[in-house]
Amino acid sequence: MINVVGLGYIGLPTALMLASHGNEVVGTDYNEKIVNSLNNGEVTFEEDGLEELFAEAIKSGITFKNEYISTDKYIITVPTPYIESTKKVDASYIEAAVKSILAVCKKGTMLVVESTVSPGTIDNYIRPIIEASDFVMGEDIHLVHAPERILPGNMIYELKHNSRTIGADNLEIGEKLKIVYQSFCESEIVVTDIRTAEMTKVIENTYRDINIAFANELTKIAREADLDVYEIIRIANKHPRVNILNPGPGVGGHCISVDPWFLVGDYPGLTNLILTARHTNDSMPEYVLERISSIMKEKGMTDFSRVGLYGITYKQDVDDVRESPTLQLLEKMEEHLAPGLKVYDPMVNKPLVENQYLDFDEFLNDIDFVVVMVSHSHIKENEKKLAGKVILDTQKALNNSEVYYL
């Protein structure tokens, strides 16, 4: 039996995928609301294909509890934020999970950490907990790191088709876990050591962060030079070895906006490029504010209360708002004691921020200037409703030639 610990954006799909492919699974989360919802047959967030997968897993016998169970296989998928003051990983959630597991687990347990961590986290934080217990490392407890590698909005497909990395002290244990993941993963699964697996996951997201930062810096240069950044990128990308991304209003989510800080925190003297990329991407919400102010002056507009932000989530067609550029922008406004902007997002159906609308038409009726922060399919399908509005499209989501861009 496998006990999946943490039933959030990673843990729940993983538990459901394991269960629907023949594994006996119990999902555990301390959040009673999450467990109660799942036991009532309700998934806790929106994701394409998740409800169908949930139904399959229920038929296969998956159960959900607030308590850890006694077994010999655990997969930990709890949050791993960074500590604001040091930028180092906050391993407290994993530490707490490990301590709870050690209180109930069987000898010979395979303890798998899927949560993304900085290189050395398992050695520095997790291994000492086990060594201080009555269990013998490598005999009673086998440590493994198998970092997730999926994208919200496409989780179910990527769980099946993305390659995986398994880091283990004992490669034989790694191969045994590989068989478990092969029950649903159809791609290559690489077995290596723990520290290599830790580093691999962090640099994957750091690489993406740097690429996004280049595009965002390029858009600022193009704006200063009065050039079309999208035309520049389109032409440059015709080179066979160039693939520049499109700029955007910032970087959100729990991976790209967080993981690079782990390296900055652990290697402050060696991460100049990574640190610069983080600062560049973190500067984009404020840059969007500057563009709003500039366009308002050009249009002779003075009333910020008639400006609306479309999109609260960190990416299109998901309901995940973690580290959202829109939320970062609203925080910047609060810092400057500026009046709040109106906000709407079709994927967020509960009040989350001030001046948030739950009806799109009401939102449009109360604004003259719409800022497209997220390229949801909804805005593309309803583009005609924006007629007559001043539009800043930070995602180049619309076909309207009259819009402003970053």
* Topology annotation, domain 2-195: Rossmann fold (3.40.50)
Q: What angle do CA 336, 320, 404 make, to 5 degrees?
A: 55
Q: Would 2-195 and 209-281 be classified into the same CATH topology?
A: no
Look up residue 267 and give its two tokens.
Answer: 């290697």
Residue 385 pLDDT:
96
Q: How far apart are CA 140 and CA 125, in angstroms?
A: 18
Residue 79, C-beta contacts closer than 8 angstroms, at least 6 positions apart: 6, 8, 93, 115, 254
Which active-site residues does the annotation give?
201, 255
284-393 is a CATH 3.40.50.720 domain: yes
Rounded to 5 degrees, φ, ψ at 283 are -80, -15
Residue 336 pLDDT:
66
Number of Cα atoms under 13 Å in the Cβ half of residue 406: 27
Say which amino acid occupies 52: E
Residue 280 pLDDT:
97
First to last CA, the chain: 51
CATH number listed for the domain at residues 209-281: 1.10.1040.10
For residue 50, give the nearest of 28, 20, 71, 70 by alpha carbon. 20
Written as one string, the DSSP assignment of 74-132 is: EEE-----B-TTT--B--HHHHHHHHHHHTTPPTTEEEEE-S---TTHIIIIIHHHHHT
Radius of gyration in angstroms for the set of CA atoms belonging to the chain, rounded to a whole number: 23
What are the sequence ranges of the domains in the chain?
2-195, 209-281, 284-393
Residue 338 pLDDT:
65
Total number of residues shown for the chain? 406
Mean pLDDT per 10-residue segment, the chain (406 residues): 96 98 97 96 93 97 97 97 90 97 97 96 96 95 95 92 96 97 97 97 96 98 96 97 96 90 94 97 96 96 93 94 94 75 95 95 97 97 96 93 90
Residue 42, Cβ density class (10 Å: 0-12 exposed, 13-18 middle, ≥19 buried): exposed
Residue 151 pLDDT:
83
Residue 401, C-beta contacts closer than 8 angstroms, at least 6 positions apart: none
Look up residue 240 and give its two tokens.
Answer: 């066979």
Torsion angle defined by CA atoms of residues 104, 107, 109 and 115, in that order, rounded to the nearest 10 degrees: 50
What pTM was estimated for this model as a whole?
0.91
Q: Are 184 and 17 in contact (CB under 8 A)?
A: yes
Q: How far apart are CA 334 and CA 356, in angstroms?
A: 15
